[in-house]
Amino acid sequence: MGWKTFYSINEGMFKTLYDQNQSWGELMALKMTISGVDHYGAGVLSTSPTFYLQSPKIKITYGLMVNKAKVRYKIYVFADPYTESYVEIGIIGYKNGAMCEDEHGYEFHGAIIHIRNTGGTMNFQQYDMDIEIDGNMLKLKIDDVDLGTFRLDAVPVSFTVACRVANVVSGNRTGVAVTEVVGEYYDMVEDMMAQVMSMMNIMMWIMIAVAVISVIVSLFRRRKKEGGG
């Protein structure tokens, strides 16, 4: 309660981009056939290392009084048969057009994922990444594994999904893609109002219960008095 969605993109939207041969910012729209089912996303696919590629900038909405937001990615990492590689995926925060930096001067924050496909068909691995923004603090997890907390030099006002192929140790194509991105912000005022309404609801039932007990006691006394007369 108190969390509201400010951004959402899913496989249906990525399918539209793929069908129209369009990219999502610098990320290419991709179709991935996994166990006979087609999935759609956006990311990078390469036989060699790439630079960081980014989605369009996504504006972050914050509630009143607090700058708290959270973002979730659904991710697929994949590799051709007999391919070993490393890919990276994460977030880049922006402050008025410039990239936010942490105390060590880094702008990208995310996960390095190793994939080693020893089979004869393309291999896919699925992950969920959770990103928490609390003021200028950034906390990341992937599949509930803590990736660290970072202090940025400003509160991010927008962000991009960023990814790259970091290294192809051997083999052919490898890549990483998001199939869903959801951003939510914390509305403290709504949460406070919900708590107040919940307390009022509880108090109302308590008052009704007290009133009913009072009536029962009153009737009991009245009947006792009438019986004694």
Give the domain range for residue 228: 194-229
- Same domain, residue pair 7 and 48: yes
pLDDT confidence of residue 221: 55
Query: In the chain, pLDDT over 90 holds for what percent of residues?
Result: 77
Task: Based on the fold, state whether residues 91 and 199 are members of the same structural domain.
Answer: no
Could you give the CA distance from residue 42 to residue 30 in angstroms, rounded to a whole number? Answer: 6
Residues 102-137 have pLDDT tens digits of 999 999 999 999 999 999 999 999 999 999 999 999
Residues 6 or more apart whose Cβ sits within 8 Å of residue 16: none
Number of compact structural domains in the chain = 2
pTM of the model: 0.82
Query: Are residues 155 and 207 both part of a single domain?
Result: no
pLDDT (average), residues 74-83: 98
Q: Do 207 and 176 share a structural domain?
A: no
Question: With bands split at pLDDT 50, 70 and 90, how would you rate the model's confidence at 205?
Answer: very low
- Choice between 119 and 194, residue whose per-residue pLDDT is larger: 119
Same domain, 216 and 170: no
Q: Are residues 48 and 152 in the same domain?
A: yes
pLDDT in tens, 139-193: 999 998 999 999 999 999 999 999 999 999 999 999 999 999 999 999 865 555 5
pLDDT band at 53; cut points 50, 70, 90: very high
DSSP state of 56: -
What is the Cα–Cα distance from 19 to 28, expressed in whole angstroms?
12
Q: Are residues 160 and 223 both part of a single domain? A: no
Q: Read off the CATH number of the domain in which 18 is found.
A: 2.60.120
Q: How far apart are CA 197 and CA 10, in angstroms?
A: 34
Residue 204 has pLDDT above 80, yes or no: no
| Shared-domain flag, residues 153 and 210 | no
- Same domain flag for 182 and 221: no
The mean predicted confidence, pLDDT, of the chain is: 89
Residues 215 and 120 in one domain: no
Tokens 């999935």 correspond to 39
Q: 125 and 215 share a domain?
A: no
